[in-house]
Amino acid sequence: MAKSEISSQSTPQLPQVLLMREPPAFTLCGEQPFSSDKFRYLKAYESTLPLDQFLTTHAQSVQAILSSHNAPVTAAILRLLPEARLVVTTSAGLNQIDLPECRRRGIKVANSGTVSAANVADLAIALLIDVKRKISASNRYVKQGLWSTNEDYPLGSKLRGKRVGIVGLGSIGSEIAKRLEAFGCYISYNSRNQKPSVSYPFYHEVHELAADSDVLIICCALNDQTHHLIDKEVLSALGKEGFIVNVGRGPIIDEKEMVRCLMKGEIAGAGLDVFEDEPDVPQELFALDNVVLSPHRAVFTQESINDLGKLVVGNLEAFFSSKPLLSEFLGD
């Protein structure tokens, strides 16, 4: 009781954490898991001011920013916030944050760390089995009452013995590999550098990995090097029996080219949680049974929101009390 009195008395003096857009986690589950009595959120999206005016107005009081995959932190924004010293993000990926500019300005960055790795890996596996064994399509088939009138439902294909190429063997990729080994798949991978601790075959070139794979799973970070990494050449190397799963970021794949390949049967199917221009999804994909779509929810489950909330709050409270961050991003 004493605590809440102090908290409500001291609210005006609480340090502020800037939110430029509502994080998807807030939209999905409310603000409560991300709340603290040590700071309060300053919500640009609830103001009638244009963003730059809002930032200019609050320039002196913003030391910390909470970002999310849909809330970019650009150099132009950081120029308006000279006191900023921390960007925390609810996402695992950091592509929406101008990391060189943060470094130049001495701004620390903390992401969602490995909190969501298991969830993202689970969704990658779900999308893969779903598209290979036609789960969503067969669910619709049965629910439309077609089973009793139509015996022609097409067969799916097996997982055991399939060669899976993982693009990006970080915490998420490693969780994916562990699961796929239990299904009897053969794992290879591509990443910036070969991992000395890993025995899976390493491919320096993604198109060579694709050529030797039945399935390609994309779970690397999006940056200048990985933008459209999965291009026409890679998709063509994957081939018409090949499946692709993307739980990384939409722009890692040349989406137009992938849509063309899916429509022409130049690749066999896709399971996609992320897209180039979310929430817009290429409508050509809507009619394809060999494509399973998910609305960028790989990291989110009922359980993970609480874990993520604890980590976000922990990072922000640590910053405001000058303690080490819980999940500081120290560069690749």
* Residue 279, preceding peptide bond in cis (omega within 30° of 0): yes
Helix (H) or strand (E) holding 248, with range, is none
Residue 139 engages a copy of itself in binding (rule: CB under 8 A): yes
Nearest Cα neighbor of 314 from 323, 303, 305, 304 is 323
CA distances from 242 to 42, 81, 109, 138, 284 (A): 47, 47, 37, 20, 19
Nearer to a copy of itself, 45 or 153 (CB): 153
Nearer to a copy of itself, 194 or 294 (CB): 294
Residue 179 engages a copy of itself in binding (rule: CB under 8 A): yes
Residue 28 engages a copy of itself in binding (rule: CB under 8 A): yes
Q: Residue 140 Cβ, how far from a copy of itself at the closest point, in Å?
A: 7
Residue 236 engages a copy of itself in binding (rule: CB under 8 A): no
Token code pair at residue 307: 């874990």
Place of tokens 């944050």: 97
**Residues 228, 206: Cα–Cα separation, whole Å:** 12
Q: Residue 157 Cβ, how far from a copy of itself at the closest point, in Å?
A: 5
Number of residues that bind a copy of itself (CB under 8 A): 59
Residue 240 engages a copy of itself in binding (rule: CB under 8 A): no
Q: Rule CB under 8 A: choose which of 29, 80, 211, 263 binds a copy of itself.
A: 29
- Quote the distance between the C-alpha of residue 245 and its chain's center: 13
Q: Residue 232 Cβ, how far from a copy of itself at the closest point, in Å?
A: 25
Q: Rule CB under 8 A: choose which of 21, 43, 105, 133 binds a copy of itself.
A: 133
Sign, Cα dihedral of 94, 282, 294, 118: negative
Nearest Cα neighbor of 291 from 257, 251, 245, 249 is 245
Residue 81 engages a copy of itself in binding (rule: CB under 8 A): no
Q: Residue 265 Cβ, how far from a copy of itself at the closest point, in Å?
A: 16
Q: Rule CB under 8 A: choose which of 18, 54, 98, 130 binds a copy of itself.
A: 130
Residue 104 engages a copy of itself in binding (rule: CB under 8 A): no
Token code pair at residue 303: 């359980």
Nearer to a copy of itself, 265 or 295 (CB): 295
Token code pair at residue 98: 């101008």
Q: Which of residues 280-309 bind a copy of itself (CB under 8 A)?
A: 280-281, 283, 285-286, 292-295, 297, 300-305
Residue 141 engages a copy of itself in binding (rule: CB under 8 A): yes
Token code pair at residue 5: 């009195």
Token code pair at residue 35: 């709340």
**Residues 176, 195: Cα–Cα separation, whole Å:** 16
Place of tokens 């960028």: 296
Residue 106 engages a copy of itself in binding (rule: CB under 8 A): no
Burial of 197 (0-12, 13-18, 19+ CB in 10 A): exposed
Count other Cβ atoms within 10 Å, centred on residue 321: 8
Q: Which of residues 150-169 bind a copy of itself (CB under 8 A)?
A: 151, 153, 155-161
Catalytic residues, by residue number, are 249, 278, 296
With CB under 8 A as the contact rule, which of the stretches 67-75, 82-90, 93-101, 276-284 interacts with a copy of itself? 276-284
Q: 172 and 92 in contact (C-beta within 8 Å)?
A: yes
Binding residues for a copy of itself, per CB under 8 A? 24, 27-29, 118-119, 122-123, 125-127, 129-130, 133, 135-136, 138-145, 147-148, 151, 153, 155-161, 178-179, 181-184, 278-281, 283, 285-286, 292-295, 297, 300-305
